Chains A and B, each alone.
Chain A
């Protein structure tokens, strides 16, 4: 089946720094990628939808200047958490699909801890 690789799997950073998380589709072209965050013992919350070559669409309440999403190619989307603060500590998950009505494949997630 299709594979989505997410890197890094965990990262620890100091407050005020920026962190970049990569999401790659390894064996298919992902027209659309999605970013979720998950707090401990809570559900996955959709943050944004990313289409290759265009600006990401953010869900209500998600700060686009805080969570920069770039989808420069059909196999790579990046999420940059800018000026991270402890409240940004969370589990971030990406997913990718070949097309609008296609199956969704998930990355393994990135645990971000901001000190």
Chain B
């Protein structure tokens, strides 16, 4: 069965500090991994998708199949990065992308 683990419920850093939000997964096949973000009073939106390998708002995430991890990183956090971040997994090729399995989320707070 698929499982997504985000070990930190809360994470606080100061502005300009590096930030890493951890995500580990378990899945028997080749999953697709995503990071979704939810800013205060806004709806959930896609931040990153591992296959696109792009950097959004300075965030990057590398899929490490050996460690089954997909940690989200940003070298210099900004106050506007404060939000709830969800790591999510989809069954990969041939599987509907919207069948997502989410981690419990990490609330990131960036202090000025």
**Which A residues are closer than 8 A to B by beta carbons?**
4, 32-34, 36, 41-46, 49, 93, 95-97, 100-104, 106-109
Contacts and interface: CB of A to CB of B under 8 A. Distances in A.
A43 B46 contact: no
B44 interface: yes
B56 to A, nearest CB: 13
Contact of B104 (A42, A96, A100): A42
Interface of B: 4, 9, 42-46, 86, 96-105
Given A46-B101, A102-B97, A109-B43, 16 more contacts: A33-B98, A34-B99, A34-B100, A41-B9, A41-B104, A42-B104, A43-B4, A45-B102, A46-B99, A46-B100, A96-B98, A103-B46, A103-B97, A104-B46, A106-B44, A106-B45
Contacts of B104: 41-43
Given A43-B86, A44-B86, A104 B43 contact: no
10 contacts: A41-B9, A43-B103, A46-B99, A49-B96, A93-B44, A97-B96, A97-B97, A100-B96, A103-B97, A104-B46
Given A93-B44, A104-B46, A108-B43, A43 B105 contact: yes
A34 B98 contact: yes
A46 B1 CA distance: 14
